Amino acid sequence: MTVYLDHNATAPIRPEALDAVMQALARTGNPSSVHGAGRAAKALVERAREIIARAVRARAEDIVFTSGGTEANNLALFSAKDAGVKRLIVSAIEHDAVMDAARATGLPVEILPVTADGVADLSWLENRLKDWNAADGVPFVSLMAANNETGVIQPVEAAGRLVAEAEGLFHVDAVQALGKIDYDVAGTLAHYTAFSAHKVGGPQGVGALALACDAPVSRLLHGGGQEKGRRCGTENVGGIAGFAAAVEAAYAAPQEAAHVRALRDRAEEIIKAAAADVKIWGERAERLPNTLCLSAPGWNSEIQVIAMDLAGFAVSAGAACSSGKVRKSRVLEAMGASPEEAASALRVSFGPGNTLEEAESFANAWLQARARARPKLAAAG
């Protein structure tokens, strides 16, 4: 049986979420209908909205359900464009759901650099906002809460204060943070905050955007007046119910963070003790407790993923595109990685269902696979 260590890609669905989905799907009713069945479906959606809002310290009425984190991020960026924003500042480590959407707006995109530890350079941001040209309209800044590859947690609250002082708009992709760390939407002063269900053990295909009360929003989809006219289309009642159940279960189990941190730290300890040339990305920064990102120079990421799959472990390259092909990590390049380091990145992301034995087994299997590969790499070099 394969040991699943790719929770940052998709977490296994939690039993509570699966049960909530099945119960919701067993019912009939459109949340927009006024009869009893419709009102019951509406009640499920509204209860879910309240649960998710409470978990992230937002107002229920400010939660807009979407098809996932990608749509939520797109809704934020295109709303900003329609609100008259003329230039975007996007951090160098953003997920493609943000970076590609920013470029798709057609607006000029400036890159907020990060340090060698993968933390956003707030000194750069502060100076840039001080020099902001009024002709460029309202400042707009995108900074993720935690990086999906390295796990490095970003200073979104401090960044939010800088953006607020500049009277700008602030967007946070909090997809990886939800359920893994305590998260306070209000504390970030963000106008837009994106979430996704399947990263926290909910179903795929559902997410949410939390809006500040003064956040301009213009819908991407046109049709009915669902979600107060902010996101048209019949709500995914089953997905939304599962989303809320997963969030509720995650925040009811604070011990999960300590558990996955122990697994991550143990795997990291074994690898570092036996392979001094391996680099652990973001190890000096605050990271998500479950995430380990490493580079083994000379050993291609794709080959590592295949080797680990054959050994019975599901892990991920530093960055993978939607086609499943592996490419060099631009996140690590932004942190100063050499081309060789960026091309040899591996991400391991643990979950609450993993065990210490599995973490140790992975580390030893990875070391063994690397030992077998090194003579071939040396010959090829």
Instruction: Give the DSSP H/E element, type plus range, for residue 65.
Output: strand 63-66
Q: Give the type of residue at 304.
A: Q
Taking CA atoms, 158 is separated from 94, 128, 143, in Å, by 17, 15, 11
DSSP code string of 236-296: -HHHHHHHHHHHHHHHT-THHHHHHHHHHHHHHHHHHHH-TT-EETTTTS-B-TTEEEEE-
Could you say which DSSP state residue 106 is in? T
| Structural contact between residues 95 and 173, judged by C-beta atoms closer than 8 angstroms | yes
From 213, 232, 293, 321, the catalytic residue = 321
d(CA 218, CA 221): 9
Residue 97 CA to its chain's centroid (Å): 10
For tokens 């590592």, name the residue: 304
User: Which phi and psi (to 5°) does residue 10 adopt?
Assistant: -155, 130
Q: Give the type of residue at 217.
A: V
Q: Is 321 a catalytic residue?
A: yes
Residue positions annotated with a catalytic role: 321
